[in-house]
């Protein structure tokens, strides 16, 4: 049982509570991570339900997704681009999608996150109480209160894929890519992989090697990706297995993104 529960009425109050209560207090969004039986019990909960962070809005900067928007809301909202709906669908258990939130997944910052690779490939930004930052920078920093995520309007095309043990299990490896084409040449490709590091990562060296060149053969692309990821052995698979899956899925999503150029899939 959690010994203390707080429900602030504003972001500033939430941050004051966190500062006062210390590292043992956690922000409560959907609760799928907080209620995980294998997670440490927090000393206090700071419930974000009263902050109005459950809205999806179209703005001049792009699509603004509140931190408490659920995965199922993403799937059902007409303004959400198709690539984000696809990423949300990778969390295949509907009961969890009804509860799990966008901000909660970012805050948990798990290696095998389903949505984060797509956010990285879309150059999304995290809105904090006092500033904004790219998702990639947020993943490598200290946890902070997330207000919203901004997904910019784009003409990039996307490919997404994931691998899990069962239809209701969490993903073992996730992958997302985005790019544009200039004739046959890949331009500014982005490739993000989950399940191969402590958190989801972009493969910047692979991106550089692809930029300005035609789509390579699947074998060559798989080799590039396999050499750029460093998974570990755990109960869900060996490092060698996850490296192979990451290489296959990574090559698949880059090819899918290149094949969709012209259709502007995902652009809004």
What average pLDDT does this structure show over 2-10? 89
DSSP letter at 168? T
Q: What is residue 165's predicted lDDT score, i.e. its pLDDT?
A: 86
pLDDT digits (tens, 9 = 90+) for 109-134: 999 999 999 999 999 999 998 999 99
220 compared with 30, residue with greater pLDDT? 220
Q: What is residue 237's predicted lDDT score, i.e. its pLDDT?
A: 92
Helix, strand, coil abundance in the chain, percent, nearest 5 = 35, 25, 40
Q: What is residue 105's predicted lDDT score, i.e. its pLDDT?
A: 94
Distance of CA 119 to the CA centre of its chain: 5
Cβ-Cβ contacts under 8 Å for 163 (sequence gap 6 or more): 171, 172, 173, 174, 245, 249
What average pLDDT does this structure show over 96-115? 93
Cα(143)–Cα(141) distance, rounded to whole angstroms? 6
Q: What is residue 42's predicted lDDT score, i.e. its pLDDT?
A: 85
134 compared with 169, residue with greater pLDDT? 134
pLDDT digits (tens, 9 = 90+) for 24-79: 898 988 888 777 656 678 889 999 999 999 999 999 999 999 999 999 999 999 99
Q: What's the order of all strands across the beta sheet hosting 44-47?
A: 5-6, 44-47, 25-28
- Whether the CB-CB separation of 220 and 205 falls below 8 Å is answered with no
Q: What is residue 40's predicted lDDT score, i.e. its pLDDT?
A: 73
Sort 260 into a burial class: Cβ within 10 Å, 0-12 / 13-18 / 19+.
Answer: buried
What average pLDDT does this structure show over 204-230? 97
**Cα separation of the two ends of the chain:** 44
- pLDDT at 180 exceeding the cut of 80: yes
Q: What is residue 3's predicted lDDT score, i.e. its pLDDT?
A: 81
Which of the four pLDDT bands, split at 50, 70 and 90, describes residue 266? very low
Distance of CA 172 to the CA centre of its chain: 14
Q: What is residue 1's predicted lDDT score, i.e. its pLDDT?
A: 62
Which of the four pLDDT bands, split at 50, 70 and 90, describes residue 248? very high
Residues in the chain: 268
Flag the least confident range among 66-80, 106-120, 234-248, 252-266: 252-266
- Supply 19's token pair: 């500062």
What average pLDDT does this structure show over 88-111? 92
Chain-wide mean pLDDT for the chain? Answer: 92
Cα(229)–Cα(203) distance, rounded to whole angstroms? 8
DSSP string, 9-68: SSHHHHHHHHHHH-TTEEEESS-TTTT-TTSPPPSEEEE-GGG----EEEETTEEEEETT
Which of the four pLDDT bands, split at 50, 70 and 90, describes residue 267? very low
Cα(25)–Cα(39) distance, rounded to whole angstroms? 13
Cβ-Cβ contacts under 8 Å for 208 (sequence gap 6 or more): none
What average pLDDT does this structure show over 205-228? 97
DSSP string, 186-232: EEEEEEEEESSSSS-EE-HHHHHHHTTSB---HHHHHHHHHTT----
pLDDT digits (tens, 9 = 90+) for 128-163: 989 999 999 999 988 899 999 999 999 999 999 999
- pLDDT at 265 exceeding the cut of 60: no
Tell me the sheet residues that pair with 70.
101
């Amino acid at each position: 049982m959690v010994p203390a529960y707080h429900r602030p009425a504003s972001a500033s109050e939430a941050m004051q509570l966190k500062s006062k209560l210390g590292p043992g207090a956690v922000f409560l969004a959907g609760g799928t991570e907080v209620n995980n039986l294998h997670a440490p019990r927090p000393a206090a909960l700071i419930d974000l339900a009263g902050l109005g962070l459950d809205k999806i809005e179209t703005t001049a900067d792009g699509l603004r997704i509140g931190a408490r928007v659920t995965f199922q809301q993403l799937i059902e909202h007409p303004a959400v681009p198709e690539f984000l709906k696809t990423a949300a669908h990778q969390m295949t258990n509907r009961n969890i999608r009804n509860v799990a939130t966008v901000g909660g997944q970012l805050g948990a910052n798990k290696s095998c996150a389903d949505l984060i690779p797509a956010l990285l490939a879309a150059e999304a930004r995290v809105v904090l109480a006092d500033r904004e930052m790219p998702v990639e920078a947020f993943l490598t920093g200290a946890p902070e209160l997330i207000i919203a995520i901004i997904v910019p309007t784009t003409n990039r095309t996307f490919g997404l894929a994931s691998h899990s043990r069962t239809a209701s299990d969490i993903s073992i490896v996730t992958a997302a890519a985005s790019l544009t084409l200039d004739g046959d040449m890949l331009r500014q490709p982005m490739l993000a992989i989950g399940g191969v590091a402590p958190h989801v990562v972009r493969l910047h060296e692979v991106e550089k090697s692809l930029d300005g060149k035609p789509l390579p053969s699947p074998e060559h692309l798989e080799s590039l990706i396999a050499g750029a990821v460093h998974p570990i052995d755990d109960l869900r698979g060996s490092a060698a297995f996850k490296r192979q899956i990451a290489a296959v899925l990574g090559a698949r999503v880059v090819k899918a993104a290149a094949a969709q150029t012209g259709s502007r899939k995902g652009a809004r």
